[in-house]
Amino acid sequence: MGVYSFGSLNLDLVIQAPHLPQPGETLMGSQFQTLSGGKGANQAVAAARLGATTRLVGRVGSDDFGRQLLESVQGAGVDVAGVTVDDQMHTGLALITVATGGATPGENQIVLAAGSNGRVGQGEVDYLAHALGSDPGAHWLLVQLEVPLGSVVAAATVAKGRGATVILDPAPVPVAGGAALESLWPWVDILTPNEGEAQGLLGRSWQGPQEALAAAQALGDRTGIGTIIITRGSQGIVCVRGSQTWILDPFPVQTVDTTAAGDAFNGGLAVALGEGQPWDEALRWAMAAGALATTQRGAQDALPDRSAVERLLRG
Ligand code: RIB
């Protein structure tokens, strides 16, 4: 079983703030940190830390940030042979504010500068095709939307053609909403938006688990994707898989920073399904990984290992 992540690497510039800023508000924050992130890299690290053989395909700049990111991802046991070093563009950056208080402690706001992520293209798709073709066994491809959409579609097409299962974290949602992603839907097996992203894809909002479940069904109808999981943070998850549905409560944990919780969920889901866990157990496994990621600060630094997930599941 092999997990592939095709996507972004970002240097995260993180400041803790008393609450998330309002438009036009200047806030005094604290604890500035530069940390390793990017949804593509985070999901690869999540899967590797949970025990899967994992490869990352993406692009960094030829700068100190790029080197820091490659070291971090490689240090977690991820194969980075598929990460191009680009001497024409700087490494991707994410400005992250994390609230320490206010209405939503632990919640974040993220603004991205794509940098080299915006130049992920045919070279990376060709690498993925070659790697999948020379790697026997079942494959899981994790994709997100922090690299150009055309490249994500090409990567998912190639992976499906080689029998892989494709898991899409639709973040960030394009400004045009779900309509911009029509060309991607046919290649996706499992869609994992958080609640805000699901609302962006459907162009409407809702409250409560039953309405979230109905929204997951509507997303399945609209996209044709067989499995939709909406992750709802401290409200748990809802899932629609064919005619089956789940509304699952969250694990009770002390949340300090929600950054990369979705990435931990996606990496955990790929690992659990790749190991052949029954669907119900795989969902709980992924939820445990996501919950644990919120108990530590940062993205890759917060991703749990296998023993932590198993401890939380045992209770
Ligand atoms: O999902 C969290 C990630 O989103 C951060 O690490 C940041 O880089 C952005 O990509």
Q: Whole-model pTM?
A: 0.97
Predicted confidence at residue 105, as pLDDT, reads: 87
Q: Residues 121-147: what's their mean pLDDT? A: 96
pLDDT confidence of residue 140: 98
Question: Is the sign of the CA dihedral 235, 240, 241, 243 positive or negative?
Answer: positive
**Strand pairing partners for 93?**
11, 113
Query: What pLDDT, on a 0 to 100 scale, did the predictor assign at position 98?
Result: 94
CB pairs under 8 A, 24+ apart, for 220-223?
222/178, 223/178, 223/181, 223/185, 223/188, 223/191
- What pLDDT score does 103 carry? 82
**What is the pLDDT, as a whole number, of residue 137?**
86
Which pLDDT band holds residue 22 (cuts at 50, 70, 90)?
A: very high
Q: Is 198 in the pocket of ligand 1 (CB under 6 A)?
A: no
Q: What is the pLDDT of residue 304?
A: 98
Structural domains of the chain, ranges and CATH numbers in brackets: 2-9+38-92+115-314 (3.40.1190.20)
pLDDT above 70: percentage of residues in the chain: 100
- What pLDDT score was predicted for residue 102? 84
Mean per-residue pLDDT over the chain, rounded? 97
CA of 142 to the centre of ligand 1 (A): 14
Q: Is 108 part of any known ligand binding site?
A: no
Kindly report the protein residue whose alpha carbon is nearest to atom 7 of ligand 1.
38
Q: Where are the alpha helices (DSSP H) in the chain?
A: 39-49, 64-75, 122-133, 149-161, 195-202, 209-223, 261-274, 279-293, 306-314
- Residue-wise pLDDT tens digits, 179-234: 999 999 999 999 999 999 999 999 999 999 999 999 999 999 999 999 999 999 99
Tell me the pLDDT tens digit for each residue of 245-259. Answer: 999 999 999 999 999
87, amino acid identity: D
Q: Which pLDDT belongs to residue 67?
A: 98
Among 259, 297, 301, name the best residue to mutate to test ligand 1's pocket (greatest count of ligand atoms within 8 A of Cβ).
259
Q: CB–CB of 170/197 below 8 Å?
A: yes
CA of residue 244 to ligand 1 center, whole Å: 31
Whether residue 1 is predicted with pLDDT greater than 80 in this model: the reply is no
